[in-house]
Structure 1
Amino acid sequence: MPHSSRPLARYALVALFLAAALVAPQAARASQDEVQSVITRQIESFIGGDFETAYSFAAPNVKAAYPSARIFSLMVKQGYAPVFSPQSYRFGPYEDAGNMYIQRVEVIGPDGHFYTADYTVKKFGDAYLITGCFIRKATGISL
């Protein structure tokens, strides 16, 4: 009677799926940690007045629109004051959208109002860079 390798192949396939199931959440967590780190470093750079470093976290599409750290920082100061000089911030929901990551940041702006900032981040080579930020003022909530 010939020996069948089918049961062994099934076990190998099950082991492969189990290994993938264990690795996938770790990879997703690593991405989330990287995304949050980039956002934190950019916000902290704005707070510290280090606009060159803040600019270094901008993706190529942002740098094409704002070709210097000075121009970029002026744009953020005027249009994105809640993330330029927040009183406080914390991370909210995170989404892995396939080719980009979306991270909500809940912010108390310099005016004492509550904002949500949805950051979009993509990986470029080994670096995670910010491709956009969409800020909304929450109605009826302030300090």
Structure 2
Amino acid sequence: MLRFILSALIALTLSLPAAAQDAGIKDTISRQIEAFQADDFDQAFGFASPSLQSMFRTPDNFRQMVTQGYPMVWRPAQIEYLDQRTEDGTVFQKVLITDQKGGVHVLDYRMLQTEDGWKINGVTLLDSSAVAV
């Protein structure tokens, strides 16, 4: 019985960092999307990694890229978090977004852990033809 309890405690302890990471990443993505929906591109820009901020330089440049290139993120109808994975030390979060017209989009968020928490370090639009909704 003691072995079972110790095993359960060890398993729980090992899963806590992963659960915290998962929650932190989802929170970062959700908060950025909420900022997009409020047209608060200054706040949304703050969730981008330092390298993305350097590339776009201003929240207005970032706004233009998002509204023109990723309208489903700017004005989503529904968001569902799919799998999360780590490749070569980089964490990726897959997100299924349904747009206002019912179109389905799968995006792969590349995440970066910083001193200020998780930041979005890039987003790739994936082929969503195999996704059933």
TM bucket normalised to smaller = 0.7 to 0.9
Which residue, out of 82, 94, 108, partners 2:72? 82
What TM-score results when the alignment is normalised by the length of structure 2? 0.84
Identity percentage over the alignment? 25
Output the CA distance in 2 between the equivalents of 1:71 and 1:119. Answer: 20
SS of the residue 1:49 aligns to: coil
Match of 2:47 in 1: 57
Structure 1 residue 83 displacement after superposition: 0.8
Match of 2:37 in 1: 47
> Are the equivalent residues in 2 in contact too, given 1:102–1:118 (CA < 8 A)?
yes
What TM-score results when the alignment is normalised by the length of structure 1? 0.79
Structure 1 residue 110 displacement after superposition: 3.1
5+ unaligned residues in a row in structure 1: which ranges? Answer: 1-14
Match of 1:71 in 2: 61
Structure 1 residue 37 displacement after superposition: 0.1
Match of 1:128 in 2: 118
Structure 1 residue 117 displacement after superposition: 0.8
Aligned residue pairs: how many?
Answer: 128
Output the CA distance in 2 between the equivalents of 1:22 and 1:142. Answer: 33
> CA-atom RMSD, angstroms?
2.5
Match of 1:102 in 2: 92
Structure 1 residue 30 displacement after superposition: 0.2
5+ unaligned residues in a row in structure 2: which ranges? Answer: 1-5
Please say which structure displays the higher CA radius of gyration. Answer: 1
Deviates more, 1:20-29 or 1:76-85: 20-29
